[in-house]
Amino acid sequence: MTQKISILNAACHPDPYPYYASLRAGPALVFDTELKCWIASRAAVVQQVLESPACAVRPVTEPVPRNIAGGTAGEIFSHLVRMNEGQAHAVPKQVIQSSLSKLDLSGITAYTRQHAAELASKYDLTTGNGLTQYLFNLPVHVMGNVLGFEEDALPDLANWMADFVRCLSPLSTTEQIDTAHAAAKALQNSFRQMLQDSQAKPDGFLAGLQNEAELCGWQHADGILSNLIGLLSQTYEATAGLAGNSLTALQTHSDILKSLREAGADLPQKLNQLIAEVARHDASVQNTRRFVTQACEIAGQNLQAGDVIVVLLAAANRDAEVNPDPDALQLSRPDRKVFTFGHGRHACPGQHIAEQITTSCLHHLLNMPAFDFSVLRWTYRPSLNGRIPVFTHNIQNQETP
């Protein structure tokens, strides 16, 4: 029996987009009486919610999720820029954005090419499990290099990150949360040592970030440390989702795959276009939540403090009002409007990093003679908001989702 689609399972549904279209065709802001939340699906309303000062990223009464509060993972969570408002958000965001803007993307490309080749020799990319591990571990290895970690530390870093991000989902089990707390402690210790050693590399990213923090008056060592872990966790999931959804797009759009294989010198440009369009067409972050902190009006509805809004980013991406012919995957789409990486004060600062790593990753896979897009099969990682493929194929023993 097919499970009824709802906002609780849409993110990992095989095709949630007809459901999103039905929501867009309804009221601009609709209240779900069963889930006791408002749902925003149209682009204009999504943008209004994300820009509203009355809509916060966390409920006032629960700044840290109950299931991780009191543990190391909860401590890290409490300092994350993306989970705070006001001064706790503005100054750290300025430091992180300024530091990231100075990153040399060509250096990220070089690191990605290096690790894409090294990890491809470690994992069997002809199997779903090998490909999934590859897509998750690649961004951690790349960003680990950017942050200054030694090569032999990268496998542990990837394992800790895999354990840590599990606690960020409300679907996590008690065992996963316990493991996440242990991983969080290991990450804290590792990053604390990196920060202490960073002055020995004055031209490195960490030294630059600490100098920027001092200039801006962000004197909070635990906050800096936590947000570096947060940056790595965001890159980990955002890149795995973006790269995975790009692969599924090429498997289901053989004409685009053919055009990429024939692109020659234009391949990097076409890959950039593909990744930007996939981020819109099949968002790796399907929704986010906002919590009303004071009475306000959204889309003509009077909302009260304590109200919850589920913001359907993926539905807004396919709103014809901002993206004509929204269901088509168009590489050369003009004036593309994408909400996947957020909007306004909580826009993701690592978007360009995720896109750059994904571009170099796909470039490597397209040039691997043994990599066959046609055999790819997948399901999606259980999540309330993330759309990250888990590949299930095996060339020796074909499996279907």
- Distance, CA of 253 to CA of 198 (rounded, Å): 45
CB 276 within 8 A of CB 336: yes
Per-residue pLDDT of the chain (401 residues; tens, 9 = 90+): 466 899 999 999 999 999 999 999 999 999 999 999 999 999 999 999 999 999 999 999 999 999 999 999 999 999 999 998 887 788 999 999 999 999 988 999 999 999 999 999 999 999 999 999 999 999 999 999 999 999 999 999 999 999 999 888 888 999 999 999 999 999 999 999 999 988 778 889 999 999 999 999 998 889 999 999 999 999 999 999 999 999 999 999 999 999 999 999 999 999 999 999 999 999 999 999 999 999 999 999 999 999 999 999 999 999 999 999 999 999 999 999 999 999 988 888 889 999 999 999 999 999 999 999 999 999 999 999 999 999 999 855 544 43
Instruction: Tell me how far apart the terminal alpha carbons of the chain are, to the nearest angstrom.
Output: 16
Q: Give the pTM.
A: 0.95
What domains appear along the chain, each with residue ranges and CATH number?
10-391 (1.10.630.10)
CB 237 within 8 A of CB 379: no
Structure tokens at 359: 């571009």
Residue 8: phi and psi, rounded to 5, are -80, -30
